[in-house]
Amino acid sequence: MIKRNLLVMGLAVLLSACGFQLRGTGSNTLAIKELNVSARDAYGETVKLLKSTLQSGGVKVDDTAPYKLVLTSEKEDQRTASYSGSARSVDIELSTVVTYELRGATPDPLLSDKVEVEKDFTHDGNNLAGSDSESTEIRREMRRELVQRLILRLQQLTPARLAELQAQSDARAKAAADAEDAAKRAMDATPQQSPIDIPTK
């Protein structure tokens, strides 16, 4: 029994050393410890799942956080992939695309990207209720996968990468401000044409 306990403890130490983490233990590898999360659909299922997943991983979701993650759009689609052997059975391809932005100290996004998930299922015309139920469950699975993919993207943002993205954003903002100032100076330096006096009879 003692040997068995030692073996289990040894495996646990080995796995943790390799960076392995048990799902749902609350541990995370996000460099961002506080995050303001919002979405165009503020009460949508995706943003609610994202918030709860981040919170369960130890990330504080707060409106005053220094970084803001915005789900700018979410699009669900489906198309007929092929017809099965039965005339009433159709292979359907479901897809969901979520576009997002990460914002920092400036309004200009630090990055903009998207995550996408696709799943196939067979719609049985002879069992509409069952097919609709399956489609709903698949959509739930796709939503969970989208959130996991998005969090994996966030895990890649190291402090150095965040600093680099912020520096690039600051540079873009400065370049835009300089261009605006230059255009204003050029306009101010251009002599304004006097209005033409039209003689009256």
Q: What is the pLDDT of residues 73-110, one digit of tens each?
A: 999 998 886 665 555 677 888 999 999 999 998 878 99
- Residue 131 — very low, low, confident or very high, per pLDDT cuts 50/70/90? low
Q: What is the pLDDT of residue 200?
A: 64
Out of 21-30, 66-75, 158-167, pick the least confident: 21-30
Nearest by Cα to 145 from 100, 70, 95, 72: 95
- Residue 136 — very low, low, confident or very high, per pLDDT cuts 50/70/90? confident
Q: Give the CB-side neighbour count of residue 105, counting CA atoms within 13 A.
A: 11
Residue 194 counted as domain residue:
no
**pTM exceeding 0.85:** no
Sequence letter at residue 51? K
| Residue corresponding to tokens 């956080």 | 65
Residue 67 counted as domain residue:
yes
Domain span including residue 124: 23-178
Between 190 and 25, residue with greater pLDDT: 190
Helix (H) / strand (E) containing 117: strand 109-124
Residue 118 bridge partners (DSSP) = 95
Mean pLDDT of 110-136: 79
Between 25 and 146, residue with greater pLDDT: 146
Residue 137 counted as domain residue:
yes
Percent of the chain with pLDDT over 90: 45
Residue 1 counted as domain residue:
no
Q: What is the pLDDT of residue 193?
A: 64
Q: Taking 60 as the threshold, does the pLDDT of residue 53 lie above it?
A: yes
Contact criterion met (CB below 8 Å) for 75 and 88: no
Residue 156 bridge partners (DSSP) = none
Positive or negative torsion for Cα 143, 98, 49, 39: negative
Residue 5 counted as domain residue:
no
* Cα(31)–Cα(19) distance, integer angstroms: 15
Q: Taking 80 as the threshold, does the pLDDT of residue 31 lie above it?
A: yes
b/e for 6-44, b at 16 or more Cβ within 10 A? Answer: eeeeeeeeeeeeeeeeeeeeeebebebeebbbebeeeee
Residue 112 bridge partners (DSSP) = 101
How long a stretch of residues is the chain? 201
Q: What is the pLDDT of residue 125?
A: 57
Q: What is the pLDDT of residue 18?
A: 40
DSSP state of 105: S
H and E: helices and strands count for the chain: 4, 5
Q: Taking 90 as the threshold, does the pLDDT of residue 145 lie above it?
A: yes
Quote the mean pLDDT of the chain: 80
- From the number of C-beta atoms within 10 Å of its C-beta (0-12, 13-18, 19+), residue 174 rates as exposed
Q: Taking 50 as the threshold, does the pLDDT of residue 8 lie above it?
A: no
Nearest by Cα to 157 from 83, 87, 66, 62: 66
* Cα(83)–Cα(122) distance, integer angstroms: 9
Q: Taking 50 as the threshold, does the pLDDT of residue 27 lie above it?
A: no
What total number of domains does the chain contain?
1
Q: Taking 50 as the threshold, does the pLDDT of residue 26 lie above it?
A: no
What's the CATH code of the domain at 67?
Answer: 3.30.160.150
Q: What is the pLDDT of residue 180?
A: 87
